Structure 1
Amino acid sequence: MDPQAELRIVRGAYAKQIMAAANIVDPRVAAAFAAIPREDFVGPGPWMMLRWWSRDYVPTPDADPVYLYTNDLIALRPERRLNNGQPSLHAYLMHQAAPSAGEHVVHIGTGTGYYTAILAHLVGPSGRVTGIEYDGELAARARANLKACANVEIIAGDGTLVPFDSADVIYVNAGCTRPAVRWLDGLADGGRLILPLTSDEGFKGGAPEQVARSGAVFRVRREGAGYQAAWISPVAIIPCDGGRDEASEKVLAEAFASGGWQKVTRLYRDAELPDERCWLRGDGWCLAYD
């Protein structure tokens, strides 16, 4: 069998397994995962794969791309524990974000572009994706990897500050301690923000260069001047450059310690709410209960 035809069969099976691992039924997301070659975005093989049983990387036996089609993390920079993220988590978060044909997605933390390409497939040629990556070398790799995608633009810069056109989806792939003002301002009416909020408490004792962050992902939906918010997933993810500060991390850690994030229903951009309605109060914003 032609190797590319064989890989198409493997990708189709992989997409089904990822949907099952994410516990979702979403034919559009499944088709996107089946369509995009992961090997085009993770550099030449053999590849270093993170194994949960050892919490360390293990090389694939050789450079056969079939090894990439599992629900595993592939190292982009193993010395920083920077990976091409877990497919089932991304499938679930994309399902929650629900990007549709013709929409504009802003992808914060695009890495080398694999999940950016999947988002571009979901919005189709009538839509577009703006990928923003803090690391200039990774941004250059993403730009090269995505050069054939006419509906994708890659920008190197701080994803909390880079200006962008009004977005239907803002998909953040790094752990923050607060939502950026740019993101809340940049959401279109009806737009969805996928927001991982992570504290430093989850992996005490880890080396600073490790992914020593854990927390929760919230989906924030803009409704005119207001914002719905809901917890959608636990998460452990690399920290967001520009999206963290000591003061907001402290109050976030306290909020996680007190529990109750599953009950959040709203995000407010003012400080007038009484404390008993706030799960987390930041500088000029809060996550709250109805």
Structure 2
Amino acid sequence: MKPAHATTPEELVIIRRAYAKQVKAVAGADNPAVERAFATVPREDFLGPGPWQIPRDWGNYAPTPSADPVYLYTNDLVGIVPERRINNGQPSLHFYLLARAAPVAGEHIVHVGAGVGYYTAIMADITGPDGKVTGIEYDPDLAARARANLAPYPQASVIEGDGSSVPFEDADIIYVNAGATRPAEAWLDRLKPGGRLVLPLTTDLNFSEDGWSNMHQRGAVFLITRREGHYDAEWISPVAIFPCVGTRDDASEKPLAEALGRGNVKRVRKLYRSNTIPRERCWLKAPGWCLAYD
């Protein structure tokens, strides 16, 4: 039998361009720099040798038909540690969140939860040689893989450790790639004026066996922008995502779950580093912080 055609490097260039446009269409967001990065960065350089494991049903994975990288250019998660349900995330969600964060060349982006570095590399492509990307990864094995994978990107570095507490330089964007119950103090402290924090807040049920159902009641992504004397806040997406070590506590999880159950998340406009705001003005009120309607 004639062997299957292997996708050539020249064909992959075209396929990546099509992939970027398809992901952009699913995301419903338009950002030329983000689209260019998705069309440029080779996903296969970050995910190890194929065939690759693709989640098809919750808890179940299926291998790609072969090790041809063409199978990576779909809007699918890809297992990086399937036995722990750790995946390279859905491209359309990352396209959308990055587009909302609006990164530009020359900025410093901090990527909390860098995994194996694929989306960190996309950020490095966007920020360019005059910018900087700091990836932070808690898992030692993933941090080592990300560090090796990002060797071709001199503007990117990887720190192994807890993304809520390891030191990093002030950032234009902090892109959190794991579910917290509260914003880490360091994330708010280290945002430059005008800086943007992409913040997934998730309940304890978010990563449970049925966490994908009623996702809008299990997790929400907020875009937090530092202004003079305050922080603007805007809901931008529901989310189901791996928990973030160091930023989960019962004192914030309970009011978060209650707030998500009530709805009205799209009315949120401000984040306050205080719980002195009257409860009637708050969507979520927790010890030391709140998300408010005004």
Question: Shorter chain as normaliser: what TM range?
Answer: over 0.9
* Deviation of 1:271 (Å): 1.9
Distance in 2 separating the partners of 1:203 and 1:175: 9
Distance of 1:74 and 1:214 partners within structure 2: 22
Pair 281,2 (structure 1): closer, same or farther in 2 beyond 3 Å: closer
Q: Does 1:214 align with 2:218?
A: yes
Deviations 1:221-257 (A, max 9, x none): 0002210000000111111111111221111111111
CA contact (8 A) 1:194 1:218 kept: yes
- Correspondent of 1:28 among 19, 26, 33: 33
Number of corresponding residues = 285
- 2:83 corresponds to which of 79, 86, 96: 79
Structure 1 residues not aligned, in runs of 5+:
none
- Shift of residue 35 of structure 1? 0.3
Cα displacement string for residues 59-117 of structure 1 (whole angstroms, at most 9, x for unaligned residues): 01110000000000000011111000000000000000111111000000000000000
Matched, 1:4 2:21: no
Confirm whether residue 130 of structure 1 aligns to residue 134 of structure 2: yes
Contact 2:206 2:241 in 1 (8 A): no
Q: Which runs of 4+ in 1 moved over 6 A?
A: none
Instruction: Give the Cα–Cα distance (whole angstroms) in 1 for the partners of residues 118 and 142 of structure 2.
Output: 12
Q: Could you tell me which of 101, 105, 117 is aligned with 1:101?
A: 105
TM, length-normalised to structure 1 = 0.95
Q: How far off its partner does 1:139 sit?
A: 0.3
Inter-CA distance 16–205: structure 2 relative to 1 (3 Å threshold):
closer
Farther off after superposition, 277-286 or 76-85: 277-286
Whether the 8 Å contact between 2:269 and 2:293 is mirrored in structure 1 is yes
- The TM-score with structure 2 as length reference comes to 0.93
Counterpart for residue 192 of structure 1 = 196
**In 1: Cα distance, 2:93 partner to 2:206 partner:** 18
Residues 8 and 252 of structure 1: CA distance in aligned 2, closer, same or farther (over 3 Å): same
CA distance in 2, matches of 1:151, 1:257: 42
Report the alpha carbon displacement of residue 56 of structure 1 after superposing the two structures with TM: 2.0
1:159 to 158, 163, 182: 163
Give the alignment partner of residue 142 of structure 1, picking from 137, 142, 146: 146
The answer as to whether partners of 2:207 and 2:243 remain within 8 angstroms in 1 is no
- The whole-number CA distance in structure 1 between the counterparts of 2:30 and 2:16 is 17
Q: Structure 2 counterpart of 1:22, which letter?
A: A
Q: Percent identity?
A: 60
Q: Does the CA contact (< 8 Å) of 1:32 and 1:122 recur in 2?
A: yes
- CA distance in structure 2 between the partners assigned to 1:271 and 1:47 by the alignment: 46
**Is the 1:200–1:249 contact (alpha carbons within 8 Å) kept by the matching residues of 2?**
yes
Is 2:237 the partner of 1:233? Answer: yes
| Cα pair 1:11 1:34 within 8 Å, conserved | yes
Structural RMSD (CA): 1.8
Partner of 2:3: none
Distance 1:146 1:186, change over 3 A: same
Name which of 276, 287, 291 aligns with 1:272: 276
Query: Would you say the 8 A contact 1:214–1:237 is kept in 2?
Result: no
Within 2, Cα distance between the matches of 1:30 and 1:129?
18
